[in-house]
Structure 1
Amino acid sequence: MSLVPVAELLKKAQEGHYAVGAFNCNNMEIVQAIVAAAEAEKAPVIIQASQGAIKYAGIEYIATLTRLAAEKASIPVALHLDHGTSFTQVVQCIRNGFSSVMIDGSKLPLEENIALTNKVIEVAHPLGISVEAELGKIGGTEDDISISEREALFTDPAEAERFVKEAPADALAIAIGTAHGQYKGVPKLDFERLKEIRKRVNTPIVLHGSSGVPEDAIREAVSLGVCKVNIDTNIREAFVAAARLVLEQNPKEIDPRKVLGPAREAATAIIREKIRIFGSNAKA
């Protein structure tokens, strides 16, 4: 089937009280792993391309690989720009067939974030393309900040309410304690903040930086209204670990298929596990 908009998937997720997995890709094998996992679990799925992925693989390659995978798949597949940083990049992704884009204006003052998001909505929505926005700052593992500073980065529920009224995006990424990359400790999510945001906002909620978040915490976040959960680091860890094991056991191996094949299988396995945690299995 053709690529579908993320808004279509999240509407059903919100109604069904589950979350759709959004998995980052960097190469052909990971695209194949994402779709294979979704097929096996009979789940809708979102394939995401980050700034790094676009720079590494090229926007045309990612779009073509994902479009081909979607055409051959029996489950709904969306292609999403993850953390788009400029209007120009969003337009490039739209031109290359992405079915969904994220504009990340979270580092901007609220009014500027709203204005930038609306600019993207104006070009994307007439084409049937979904838009994700972000409010609040999601840190990285290099951040060394105190609890008070950490909470200052979290999404303010009142601002979230204003944001969705003035910039009606199809999904809103919020900051409640997750971080990008590998965690140094166990992340603690602010579920009370999530509950308050959910009371004020009916827009589907997105949880970024979810690799390394305990399974029970993810399940609780989904039960409280998170409809899209992003996973990247866990896929990289599984993929590289499997490739490394092959090379450690066979130092003279020169066939990339024998190295990347097991890596693809490992990525498929971890993605299937995440899909079941999100509750989107058997929802396609």
Structure 2
Amino acid sequence: MINWPSYDPGEHRIQCPACGRGDSDKTLGLTIESGGYGVAHCFRCAFVENYRPKQGAHLAMLTQPRIKGTPSIAKRETLANYARDLWAVSKPLGGIGVAYLEARHCRVPPRDADLRWHPSLRHPCGYEGPALIALVTDAVTAEPISLHRTWIRDDGRKADLEYPRLLLGDGHRKQGGVIRLWPDDAVTTGLGIAEGIETALSLAHGFTPVWALIDAGNLAAFPHLPGIQTLMIGSDNDPTGSKAAYTCAEQWALADREVTLVEVGHGA
């Protein structure tokens, strides 16, 4: 059962008491209102528990049978219609989107970059607020494959959420994806890459054009692109990021490309 009195009002993510696999396995969504009333729901096994301050906790019936593992979801080859609609209504960078980047000492990319903003985007937890929205495209084909969202504040901090950065689920793939912070027609013989959007836009103060590769896995596996003879890699200042950057640099150097590796210690 859940120790309800130990949690403050608001949204929480914790380990499910029915199917939890460890402290870091936070599949249970916990919502507590100001009067102490609460409800918990597991996104994996459908465990449901309600809480009332005077009556205590009540375990509801599971809304679906508990199953082992996670059913596979067919991978999409392009954006779902709802994602295309969200990208279409997103605005060119301005307002809080620019204020956030400038407060983080990032270079603001051109208006035709695959980076936009939304003044009031709903988070899965129910929160609504401004967010950066990035189009993720296949590094080779440029086909749209996902969206990356970052809920932000104008002081350079991310919104006070447990997961302020999210990729689309629902079968959208991340592998092989990039965020083209400068459009293809700005890329000639040289390109700068880094994991995150902010890290790439910090690198852009010294080198352009730049793309963000989302995470260390994509950075390590970044493919050789025709015509790119010079690659500038901005490495995150952590063991995983450094290893990915060196792996990418080694692969490109073996392909007889000029590679420069720099450490860009940008915060999360």
Query: Which structure shows the bigger proportion of residues in strand conformation?
Result: 2
Query: Which structure shows the bigger proportion of residues in helix conformation?
Result: 1
Which of structures 1 and 2 has the bigger CA Rg? 2
- TM-score class, shorter-chain normalisation, is under 0.3
Q: Which has the higher contact order (CA 8 A, sep 6+)?
A: 1
> TM-score normalized by structure 1?
0.25
> TM-score normalized by structure 2?
0.26
